[in-house]
Chains A and B, each alone.
Chain A
Amino acid sequence: AQSVTQLGSHVSVSEGALVLLRCNYSSSVPPYLFWYVQYPNQGLQLLLKYTTGATLVKGINGFEAEFKKSETSFHLTKPSAHMSDAAEYFCAVSDRGAQKLVFGQGTRLTINP
């Protein structure tokens, strides 16, 4: 069965610092991988996705993630944090042809001025 583990339920960084949110997955077949963001009092929005091709994928708002098959990881990064990045971030996985996504536990990102 697929599963997703996000390391760290809370991450706090200073404005301008590197953001690194960790995601590891388990899947018996090559997966599709996703990051979603949830701003306060809103639903989730797709940030970026990996399906096939280039393993470094770029998303909205300056975020990117790299699929590393050998490490079963899909960590999310942003070179310089902005106050508006404060939100909860969810990693998700699906098998090709699957009908549903499996979400991680979420990581709440706090940005310190």
Chain B
Amino acid sequence: DVKVTQSSRYLVKRTGEKVFLECVQDMDHENMFWYRQDPGLGLRLIYFSYDVKMKEKGDIPEGYSVSREKKERFSLILESASTNQTSMYLCASSAQGALWAQHFGDGTRLSIL
């Protein structure tokens, strides 16, 4: 079965820390995405990547960066965590040309104290 794995289900960090969220997919997908999910706001796209070492800003990239050194792995980095980045983070992947068929991980619930 296809799988998108996020490294942590729950994570607690402190303000100012550098935080890494990791995502791995086993489907050889070209496209990978990072979203944050907040009540009443739905999913908002932070960054996406359509190839190794390629990245594109989504709708809310401020305060975040990403890294894609290998095709199967897409990392989200909070350079200096702030309390307003407390949220659920979802990673997804899709094959090239099948943007809509996004496979999602189970999410990481991140709390910044």
Q: Which residues of A contact B (CB under 8 A)?
A: 4, 6, 9, 32, 34, 41-46, 49, 51, 90, 92, 94, 98-101, 103-106
Interface centre among B31, B40, B42, B44 (most CB of A within 10 A): B42
The answer for the CA separation of A101 and B59 in the assembled complex, in Å, is 11
The interface residues of chain A lying within 8 Å CB-to-CB of B56 are: 99
B64 within 8 A of A: no
What are 25 A-B pairs with beta-carbon distances under 8 A? A4-B42, A9-B40, A42-B106, A43-B103, A43-B104, A44-B43, A44-B90, A44-B92, A44-B102, A44-B104, A45-B104, A46-B100, A46-B102, A98-B99, A99-B56, A100-B48, A100-B58, A100-B99, A101-B102, A103-B42, A105-B40, A105-B41, A105-B42, A106-B40, A106-B42
- Contact residues in B for A34 (Cβ distance below 8 Å): 100
Rounded to whole Å, the gap between the CB of B103 and the closest CB of chain A is 8
- For the complex with contacts A46-B101, A105-B41, 15 further pairs of A-B residues with Cβ separation under 8 Å are A6-B42, A41-B106, A43-B4, A43-B92, A43-B106, A43-B107, A44-B90, A46-B102, A94-B99, A98-B99, A99-B56, A100-B33, A100-B45, A100-B48, A105-B42
Neighbouring B residues of A44 by C-beta, 8 Å: 43, 90, 92, 102, 104
| Residues of chain A lying within 8 A (CB to CB) of residue B105 | 43
**What residue of chain A has the Cβ atom nearest to residue B43's Cβ?**
A103
